């Protein structure tokens, strides 16, 4: 009996450390990533995936947005990569990379521009398409 609180804590830690992330209750709010078409006219086609999920193909008109919501895992390995197509262009970008993005809050906003995506915030962080 004396040991049971310790056992309880030990099993809790085991569950936290080794439980599969998608079955854990959410310990922190879900993250929403929003992408706004700022290409200056063209219709944008966005297709985002993670290792486990295919979020499908979405058509995003000029100056409108597409967003998705997910629960990042506790190991900072969550990765969502997207393809962006317009006119005859096809570009790829990791729109959520936990190592880069996980500490930037639960609402992350990007603008999709001709030269690359920009992450909004106190400091705007722009990337060039590869």
Q: How far is CA 63 from CA 16, 40, 43, 46, in A?
A: 41, 8, 10, 14
Q: Measured from the CB atom, is 36 or 78 closer to ligand NAG?
A: 36
Q: Which residue is nearest to ligand NAG (CB)?
A: 109
String of contacts with ligand NAG for each residue 93-122, x by CB under 6 A: ------------x-x-x----------xx-
Can you tell me the distance from the alpha carbon of 49 to that of 96, in angstroms, rounded to the nearest whole number? 10
Asked if 38 interacts with ligand NAG (CB under 6 A), we say: no
Q: Measured from the CB atom, is 51 or 122 closer to ligand NAG?
A: 122
Helices (H), the chain: 4-18, 98-101
Residues that bind ligand NAG (CB under 6 A): 105, 107, 109, 120-121
């Amino acid at each position: 009996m004396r040991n049971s609180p310790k056992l309880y804590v030990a099993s809790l830690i085991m569950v936290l450390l080794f439980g599969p992330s998608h079955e854990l209750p959410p310990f922190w709010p879900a993250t929403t990533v929003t992408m706004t078409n700022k290409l200056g006219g063209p219709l944008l086609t966005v297709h985002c995936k993670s290792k486990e999920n295919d979020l499908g193909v979405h058509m995003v008109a000029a100056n409108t947005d597409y967003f998705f919501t997910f629960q990042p895992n506790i190991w900072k390995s969550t990765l969502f990569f997207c393809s962006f197509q317009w006119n005859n262009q096809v570009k790829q970008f990791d729109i959520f990379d936990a190592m880069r993005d996980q500490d930037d809050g639960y609402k992350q906003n990007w603008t999709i521009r001709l030269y690359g995506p920009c992450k909004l915030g106190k400091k705007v962080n722009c990337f060039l398409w590869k």
